[in-house]
Structure 1
Amino acid sequence: MDIHPIRTKADYAASLAAVSLLVDADPAPGTPEGDALDILTILIERYEAEHFPLAAPSPVEAIKFRMEQAGLSVPDMQPYIGNSNRVYEVLAGKRALSLAMIRRLHEGLHIPAEILIGTA
């Protein structure tokens, strides 16, 4: 298998097709096929990071995502944000997060602080 940097859309498409075949074959780690899969995966990830960057979520989107992930409701958020009115205001974007809220959300729900601050 000829492995080279992914520079074009055609290279990207060919690499995706090669990875698909390798994944279906399920090669053992340390074999030539397993090494090819590892290398192609790294190259694809690098190409995608450069050509299809993902924007960081807003603090409210991150909180809603974590709530959905963990099956949390508004009452469950009160220890992190405050009374239910305050939770609704934050989730509606009508109230900014305070530093104390950011700390509690980060420590309790493991939401990255840089996302909650809005610097990511």
Structure 2
Amino acid sequence: MDIRPLHTDDDYRAALAEVLALVDQDPEPGTPEGDRLEVLSILVEYYEGGLMATEHLLRSPTNVDHLERSIDQLRSGSHRDDRAPESSWNYRVMEFSEGEERWQAIHEVHYREGVPASYSEQPASVQWDAEDSNDTGHGILDRMRDSLNKPVLRPEDFA
């Protein structure tokens, strides 16, 4: 299995495209394709979370031990949390184009098993119940702000 860390948005897009293709194939867990899907999904999820800064990881014996344990957990399947939702959502920056015109907006992106599956038709808005405190608004804005630090998605990134 030839899999490398995702260092650039191009690496991310290539991995995401492969994940989407593998999801369509619906490989059995434990098969080479199933293992590839699992590992690539984890890499995509980590990259989206801004956790792929790996330059420092191999400089410490402690980190090497941690990586070896993580690889063992991946192989055994013991890293999975049975309570983890099969679907979730988050705000993400989406880029659209029509002819020469290009624009970006924050949308709600829905995930199925950690893979972007669909997005809201309209850009996200900031609104909350009048009875809720302004902390609710701050929470929404924080999640939107976090989306600015993740790779930009395009409609073709979805299955």
Question: Does TM, scored on the shorter chain, surpass 0.5?
Answer: no
Superposition TM-score tier, normalisation by shorter sequence = 0.3 to 0.5
Q: TM-score, normalised by structure 2?
A: 0.34
**Structure having the larger proportion of residues in strand:** 2
TM-score, normalization by structure 1: 0.44
Rg larger for: 1
